[in-house]
Amino acid sequence: MEDPESGAPGQDPEGTPAEGRPEPAEVSEDGAPGAEAAPVPPGVAEALEAEDGGPESSEVPVLDLSRLGLHTLPPELLGPAERRRALRRLLLPYNRLPALPPAVGALRDLRLLDVSGNALSLLGPELLGLPHLRTLLAKNNRLHEGSLPKELGRLQRLEVLNLSGNRFTCIPGALLQLRGLRSLSLGGNRLKSIPAEIEALSSLEFLYLGGNFIASIPPELANLAHLSYLVLCDNKIQSVPPQLAQVHSLRSLSLHNNLLTYLPREILSLVHLQELSLRGNPLVVRFVRDLIYAPPSLLELAGRTIKSRNIPYVPCDLPDNLLHYLNLASKCPNPKCAGVYFDSCVRQIKFVDFCGKYRLPLMHYLCSPECSSPCSNSSTSQSESDSEDEASMAARRMQKVLLG
């Protein structure tokens, strides 16, 4: 029999399937980004230990059948019936299983199942026989969106799901039924987008989607109120929605190796953010050329005049649609300008210092090109003086910005 570890490149020596499909470089053992982010979702490991009986019970009923070259799982390998009943963890990584063995479906009390690095193209109904399953590790297989049972949502206790290094082109709807999920890894797949329905995974704390082809971040992601670690590195993302700043639980945001040219200035309100990685983005290089200013309409000019000169009006003066329009006025953030704008505004990149070392390009909006501050007149990274206070505040919060 051929050595299962032969021809194994890089940091993920075990997972390369026989036909030598190239593995994404950044997907490591845990489907986590290289060496720089927390690979284990915080709290999850501890919860699992507690489930197994706490520190006083050192005997975790675990069966390790990894690296045995198994194509099937003969039931006798699982031991006598009473041992099977007691089994909490079954480790089957780095075998050659083409499907989940039927015997697995009878292990009703299983808490953890590891079938990573096999040849699985299907996670069948056997999975549904494991109602207490809390951790499912199935990275580096051949799974795709048709591989999961439609009733996957029945695994309501599932907290950790790792499907990195597979062939998913979209996040299947069945997966979005897993409302108890705290950690989801789908790195190194072929995902092109994140569905808005991701917001249904309301318990999610750790989301790893690095190494895909994702082009945008849906604003609905901001509804994940417990999200602490968001990894979106090595994708095709061009912008970050300002709504993301509503995720106040966010501690680490990995955005390196994307197509970002700026960040929304709202990102400053992420008070718990400790780590932000931005290297490998065009950030400051290309944006200046791309900024276009559409002149305001006559309606907008009239609205601006009414607002900025405080011209009085009462509801009976104006039709409803104009009253509504006037309520939409945004104040120009330039402190030297008392003006407002409606739809027509100048997008401007403002450089904000972090840690006295990095300058973060943040997007903000001004009422007109005349309001542009010195830094917008050139493509150099000069910091704007009136942003210094704000920047030093943010610098204290933002402990680690990885731009290099």
The least CB distance from residue 207 to Zn ion, in Å, is: 38
| Window of 33-41, 231-239, 241-249, 360-368 that interacts with Zn ion by CB under 5 A | 360-368
Instruction: Choose between 199 and 384: whose C-beta lies nearer to Zn ion.
Output: 384
Contacts of 312 (CB under 8 A, 6+ apart): none
**Binding-residue pattern over the window 227 to 266 for Zn ion, x denoting contact by CB under 5 A:** ----------------------------------------
The least CB distance from residue 363 to Zn ion, in Å, is: 16
The least CB distance from residue 369 to Zn ion, in Å, is: 10
Instruction: Choose between 237 and 332: whose C-beta lies nearer to Zn ion.
Output: 332
The least CB distance from residue 348 to Zn ion, in Å, is: 10
Using CB under 5 A as the binding rule, whether residue 371 contacts Zn ion is answered as yes
The least CB distance from residue 341 to Zn ion, in Å, is: 7
The least CB distance from residue 290 to Zn ion, in Å, is: 21
Instruction: Choose between 41 and 303: whose C-beta lies nearer to Zn ion.
Output: 303
| Window of 46-54, 237-245, 321-329, 369-377 that interacts with Zn ion by CB under 5 A | 369-377
Instruction: Choose between 306 and 337: whose C-beta lies nearer to Zn ion.
Output: 337
Residues 87 to 106 in contact with Zn ion, rule: CB under 5 A = none
Using CB under 5 A as the binding rule, whether residue 365 contacts Zn ion is answered as no
Using CB under 5 A as the binding rule, whether residue 283 contacts Zn ion is answered as no
Q: How far apart are CA 304 and CA 341, in angstroms?
A: 6
Dihedral pair phi/psi, residue 193, rounded to 5°: -155, 170
**Residue 275 is which amino acid?**
E
Using CB under 5 A as the binding rule, whether residue 367 contacts Zn ion is answered as yes
Q: How far apart are CA 147 and CA 101, in angstroms?
A: 15
CA atoms within 13 A on the CB side of 75: 9
The least CB distance from residue 332 to Zn ion, in Å, is: 3
Instruction: Choose between 96 and 350: whose C-beta lies nearer to Zn ion.
Output: 350
The least CB distance from residue 307 to Zn ion, in Å, is: 12
Question: Which residues sit opposite 359 in a β-bridge?
Answer: 353
What is the size of the binding site for Zn ion (CB under 5 A)? 6
Instruction: Choose between 111 and 307: whose C-beta lies nearer to Zn ion.
Output: 307
Using CB under 5 A as the binding rule, whether residue 373 contacts Zn ion is answered as no
Among 339, 346, 349, 362, binds Zn ion (CB under 5 A): 339
The 3 state secondary structure assigned to the chain is CCCCCCCCCCCCCCCCCCCCCCCCCCECCCCCECCCCCCCCCCHHHHHHHHCCCCCCCCCCEEECCCCCCCCCCHHHHCCHHHHHHCCEEECCCCCCCCCCHHHHHCCCCCEEECCCCCCCCCCHHHHHCCCCCEEECCCCCCCCCCCCCCHHHCCCCCEEECCCCCCCCCCHHHHHCCCCCEEECCCCCCCCCCHHHHHCCCCCEEECCCCCCCCCCHHHHHCCCCCEEECCCCCCCCCCHHHHHCCCCCEEECCCCCCCCEEHHHHHCCCCCEEECCCCCHHHHHHHHCCCCCCCHHHHHHHHHHHCCCCCCHHHCCHHHHHHHHCCEECCCCCCCCEECCCCEEEEEEEEECCCEEEEEEEEECCHHHCCHHHHCCCCCCCHHHHHHHHHHHHHCCEEECC
The least CB distance from residue 141 to Zn ion, in Å, is: 55
Among 332, 349, 352, 363, binds Zn ion (CB under 5 A): 332
Using CB under 5 A as the binding rule, whether residue 337 contacts Zn ion is answered as yes
| Window of 179-187, 259-267, 326-334, 372-380 that interacts with Zn ion by CB under 5 A | 326-334
| Window of 60-68, 134-142, 169-177, 361-369 that interacts with Zn ion by CB under 5 A | 361-369
| Window of 14-22, 57-65, 100-108, 332-340 that interacts with Zn ion by CB under 5 A | 332-340
Contacts of 2 (CB under 8 A, 6+ apart): 18
Residue with tokens 């704390």: 205
The least CB distance from residue 358 to Zn ion, in Å, is: 28
Instruction: Choose between 6 and 310: whose C-beta lies nearer to Zn ion.
Output: 310
Residues in contact with Zn ion by the rule CB under 5 A: 332, 334, 337, 339, 367, 371
